[in-house]
Copies of this chain bind each other. A is one copy, B any other.
């Protein structure tokens, strides 16, 4: 029995059901980021209320703090953070390679200094997979080599080849059937390298495939082009995950490319910085225009923040640096992305995807240039 069933398609866009040990995920799905075993400012009950299906956690951060012992002795990450839904764990490749001068790469892994206390640690494809399995996550990402853009052809090519080598090692190290293992395609913005990477990774037959190395500052059109090209290289009967995306517009475009899963710090980081997502684009809620605005953040939003609180109140909280401000905005912003993917699923089922896509993007158009990552 396959753990992934496509239920409807319109063009490349597809609606599917992904089964995991901790329950099903209807895709397209947005995964809020719970870096340190908490989606910042939100409790598990909040996440459930707004229809979150799956949470992302990060191997790099949890490896360093609180460490594998604290979490495994709790009975795994689900018990530790009191979230009983699916968890996808990022391998930490992106974080480790962001350390730059603080890490040394070799053919078998990467040795790095913790950003917290400078202690030395080593990630290998095997040690990361073992960590992810010890924590009992539903979906584990292989350790990949993530290159900062722009990069030379040589840098990109060697990152692709090392990612493939490590993917093979991670696959061989994978033993826990309750944890699905996803491969990652790299290759920057280079079509030939993306093909080379996809060929090698797909040949290893993972439970799902991620498109990595995008949404790292490249022009939006190039990201879309590469996502579209990469998605088409991945098998239709496996889930596709675009890492680090994103905004409303980026999610819509990626669904249109045939991507199923997304994660980004965007809705919660925006929330802590006083930014609200709405159907008409982002608001900086601290702006003077909202002081006397007694309407909800988004008139069309059904979340409990929009039912109870006004822009005026949230503007006050955010200006005053009150924790409740970041909390209410984070809640609403994740709710907006959850509603977006829910509506996308319905649009795909009802064969009106392209209409939904165009209408959603058209509403955002006047403010799209202002959107930040």
Contact = CB atoms under 8 A, between A and B. Distances in A.
Interface of A: 36-38, 40-45, 65-66, 69-70, 73-74, 80-82, 272, 291-292, 294, 304, 308-310, 312-313, 315-317, 319-320, 322-324, 326-328
Contacts of A319: 65-66
A296 to B, nearest CB: 11
B40 A70 contact: no
A37 B317 CA distance: 8
Given A66-B291, A291-B66, A323-B323, A312 B74 contact: yes
Between A38, A74, A292, A328, the greatest number of chain B beta carbons within 10 A of the residue's beta carbon is seen for A38
B36 A320 contact: yes
Nearest to A36: B320
Contacts of A272: 323
Nearest to A66: B316
A316 B68 CA distance: 12
Contact of A310 (B69, B74, B292): B74
A322 B316 CA distance: 22
A65 B40 CA distance: 26
Given A80-B313, A291-B66, A313-B81, A323 B320 contact: no
Contacts of A308: 44-45, 82
A308 B44 CA distance: 10
A43 B74 contact: no
A308 B294 CA distance: 35
Contact of A312 (B45, B80, B317, B328): B80
Contact of A70 (B36, B44, B65, B316): B316
A82 B38 contact: no
B82 A294 contact: no
Closest 6 CB pairs of A and B: A41-B323, A66-B316, A38-B324, A82-B308, A36-B320, A38-B322
A36 B74 CA distance: 38
A266 to B, nearest CB: 17
Given A43-B327, A70-B312, A74-B310, A36 B322 contact: yes
Nearest to A39: B324
A288 to B, nearest CB: 11
B324 A41 contact: yes
B40 A324 contact: yes
Nearest to A44: B308
A45 B43 CA distance: 14
A304 B291 CA distance: 34
Contacts of A82: 308-309, 313
A73 B315 CA distance: 15
A26 to B, nearest CB: 25
Contact of A323 (B70, B81, B327): B327
Given A70-B316, A74-B312, A323-B326, 13 more contacts: A36-B316, A36-B320, A41-B327, A43-B324, A43-B328, A44-B308, A45-B304, A66-B291, A70-B292, A80-B313, A80-B316, A272-B323, A323-B327
